[in-house]
Amino acid sequence: MKEILEDFKQFILRGNVFDMAIGIIIGVAFSKIVDSLVKDIIMPPIGLIIGKVDFSNLYFQLFPLEKHYSSLSEAQNAGAVTINYGIFINTIISFLIIAMTVFLMVKGINNLQQKTNTKENNQTKKCPYCFNTINIQAVKCPFCTADL
């Protein structure tokens, strides 16, 4: 048991785990910001343009059919079975914003890596004997020890 705890401690103390944990925490916070952006800033003007519609209150009532409620919260409090398509629309818009942001971040990181790789390629060459990448100023290959 002590050995398992020691292995777990070593696993936790690796940098990757901390980086991943920080990424998850930032992602959760970012998703809350995007949810607020959609619910509080984007959807109210769209609802006003469409005809004073509150998207978070759009629902289709499945049961009971004989009574209609004025709001989603009222229907849910009464125990009505509803399909909440307005909340679903808000969630789709939030997802699209997050997906676009992640796409732009990945694209930016790829551009930076490409620039870094180009810079490294200008400072490196391939060993003609073992084909490993070495410094352009090297006169002896550190991998196969061949004279260049």
Q: Is pTM, for the whole model, over 0.85?
A: no
3-class DSSP string for the chain: CHHHHHHHHHHHCCHHHHHHHHHHHHHHHHHHHHHHHHHHHHHHHHHHHHHCCCHHHCCEEEECCCCCCCCHHHHHHCCCEEECHHHHHHHHHHHHHHHHHHHHHHHHHHHHHHHHHHHHHHCEEECCCCCCEEECCCCECCCCCCEC
Could you read off the pLDDT of 22-77 as tens digits, one per residue? 889 988 998 899 989 988 998 889 888 888 788 888 999 999 989 989 899 999 99
Residue 15 has pLDDT above 70, yes or no: no
Mean residue pLDDT of the chain comes to: 87
